[in-house]
């Protein structure tokens, strides 16, 4: 048995921040009110720092296999560790796409040798792979692209969607943009090279139609459903109707950027769903504060700057964000826009509950010691050349933030610190999912250890 003690930390518990001594044994939290003089193999003095749960990013695209010139599981997971992200859930649109149980297991095997943090992989829906979706286990859920995607991952046929929602049991999440609307807008604006037209092609109507369609399926089939990357304030009217089966998330670019930023940032902020207006920024932020939206994710989806520099519409959609996500939110804590408890709820506890990730998301006895030490006073400027992601750029390049992670612990092991860098020998573990817990609305007390 190895024992680590975090002493004199300002600990971010679910309900409050309190000075406490946290005791970790063999990768698990065994005491959240330890005596300061307890004997240990390692004592970490956290004076002046906050200790919070590790971030769980439930929507990333880490590009392996098949697209590793953009990113791979090692470079992406290093970025995670440096950013305070201790677990990630990765999307199926790799090459080949993860649309079979065998395909998901292949990605598990790669991650076991490469990932510096904990990992899980969605299985992707196609119009005709329901039997694979029904057979899948040890996954966070099913991902549907109701909107443009590659290969056969687009599922726009109503009969196929009815079958997926009606015959499967895993939680479902979806990219919600109506393909018919997007294609009609693209035809109307054919020949454009204006990057701002991306938000006119992937407009509010496209998001509204698809989100209404998907949530209707979830409500009728009483199937747990998570709306990914809500981009418009208009969609909040759909989500405001309470349902024990519905949750939703926003991504950082949809609250930090808007169409007024295209002249400055161009294709660096080209995303699907597209960036919308300042009013949408404000509406989505308020939805986080009032609980209409439960989760913050990144949709980390890197492309090389050479790819991004192509004239629109040849420039691809997607941006890297995973290593700056926590700092961006801690900067909002520093400005008084929210509290660190709210950040921990949106980025740690809520995603664990949505996806039934066992033993994650909180600092409580019995939970895994996935922890982040943060310095709420530390200032640092985001710079392209200092990014750990393979593409070496960030849309937040040049922005100075207050509040940064200084050490990330995965299962009680320091995977990264700003003093020592990375533990090159450490690897994360495959996440455990228990969907019988019932999802977000049935786990108000969190997703504790395995029963």
Residue 393 within a domain? no
Cα separation, 53 vs 360, whole angstroms: 8
pLDDT tens string 251-290: 999 999 999 999 999 999 999 999 999 999 999 999 999 9
CATH number at residue 187: 3.20.20.140
**Looking at the whole model, is its pTM more than 0.75?**
yes
List the one residue out of 363, 239, 226, 232 whose CA is nearest residue 295: 226
Q: Residues 226-243: what's their mean pLDDT?
A: 95
- Look at residue 326 and tell me whether its pLDDT is greater than 90: yes
- Look at residue 70 and tell me whether its pLDDT is greater than 90: yes
Residue 219 within a domain? yes
Residue 341 within a domain? yes
Give, as one character, the DSSP assignment of residue 112. Answer: H
Cα separation, 156 vs 424, whole angstroms: 44
Cα separation, 398 vs 134, whole angstroms: 46
pLDDT for residue 197: 98
Residue 378 within a domain? no
Parallel/antiparallel/unpaired status of strands 17-25 and 3-12: antiparallel
Residue 179 within a domain? yes
**Quick one: pLDDT band at residue 451, thresholds 50, 70, 90?**
low
What percent of the chain is modeled with pLDDT above 70?
99
Cα separation, 360 vs 88, whole angstroms: 12
Q: Give the phi and the psi of residue 45 in degrees, each rounded to 5.
A: -80, 115
**Quick one: pLDDT band at residue 150, thresholds 50, 70, 90?**
low
Residue with tokens 């921040």: 17
Q: How many CA atoms lie within 13 A of 23 on its CB side?
A: 17
112: its two tokens = 């076991």
Is the bond preceding 136 in cis, omega lying within 30 degrees of 0? no
pLDDT for residue 148: 64
8 A C-beta contact, residue 116 and residue 81 = yes
Helices 325-335, 73-83: crossing angle, 10 deg rounding: 20
Q: How many domains does the chain have?
A: 1
Residue 14 within a domain? no
Residue 387 within a domain? no
Q: Which domain holds residue 148?
A: 53-363
Residue 15 within a domain? no
């Amino acid at each position: 048995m190895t024992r680590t003690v975090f002493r004199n930390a300002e600990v971010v518990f679910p309900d409050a921040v309190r000075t406490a001594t946290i005791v970790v044994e063999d990768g698990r939290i065994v005491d959240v009110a330890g005596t300061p003089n307890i004997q240990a193999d390692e004592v970490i003095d956290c004076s002046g720092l906050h200790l919070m749960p590790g971030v769980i990013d439930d929507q990333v695209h880490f590009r392996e296999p098949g697209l590793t010139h953009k990113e791979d599981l090692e470079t992406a997971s290093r970025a995670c560790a440096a950013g305070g992200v201790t677990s990630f859930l990765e999307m199926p649109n790799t090459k080949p796409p993860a649309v079979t149980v065998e395909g998901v297991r292949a990605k598990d095997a790669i991650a076991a040798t490469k990932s510096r943090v904990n990992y899980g992989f969605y299985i992707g829906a196609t119009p005709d792979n329901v039997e694979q979706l029904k057979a899948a286990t040890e996954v966070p859920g099913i991902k549907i692209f109701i909107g443009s995607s590659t290969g056969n991952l687009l599922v726009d046929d109503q009969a196929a969607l009815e079958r997926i929602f009606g015959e499967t049991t895993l939680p479902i999440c979806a990219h919600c943009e109506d393909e018919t609307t997007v294609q009609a807008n693209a035809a109307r604006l054919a020949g454009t090279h204006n990057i701002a037209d991306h938000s006119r092609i992937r407009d509010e109507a496209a998001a509204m139609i698809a989100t209404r369609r998907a949530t209707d399926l979830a409500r009728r089939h009483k199937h747990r459903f998570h709306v990914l990357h809500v981009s418009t304030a208009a969609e909040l009217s759909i989500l405001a109707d309470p349902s024990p089966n519905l949750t939703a998330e926003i991504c950082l670019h949809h609250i930090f950027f808007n169409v007024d930023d295209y002249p400055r940032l161009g294709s660096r902020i080209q995303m699907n769903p597209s960036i919308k207006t300042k009013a949408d920024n404000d509406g989505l932020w308020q939805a986080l504060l009032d609980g209409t939206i439960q989760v913050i994710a990144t949709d980390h989806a890197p492309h090389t700057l050479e790819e991004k520099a192509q004239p629109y519409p040849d420039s691809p959609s997607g941006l890297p964000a995973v290593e700056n996500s926590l700092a961006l939110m801690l900067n909002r804590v520093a400005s008084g826009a929210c509290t660190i408890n709210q950040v921990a709820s949106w980025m740690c506890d809520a995603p664990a509950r949505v996806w039934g990730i066992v033993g994650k998301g909180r600092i409580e006895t019995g939970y895994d010691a996935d922890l982040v030490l943060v310095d709420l006073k530390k200032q640092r400027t985001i710079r392209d050349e200092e990014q750990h992601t393979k593409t070496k750029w960030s849309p937040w390049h040049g922005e100075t933030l207050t509040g940064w992670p200084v050490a990330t612990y995965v299962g009680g092991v320091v995977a990264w610190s700003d003093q020592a860098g990375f533990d090159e020998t450490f690897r994360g573990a495959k996440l455990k999912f228990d969907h019988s817990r019932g999802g977000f609305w049935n786990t108000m007390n969190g997703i504790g250890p395995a029963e």
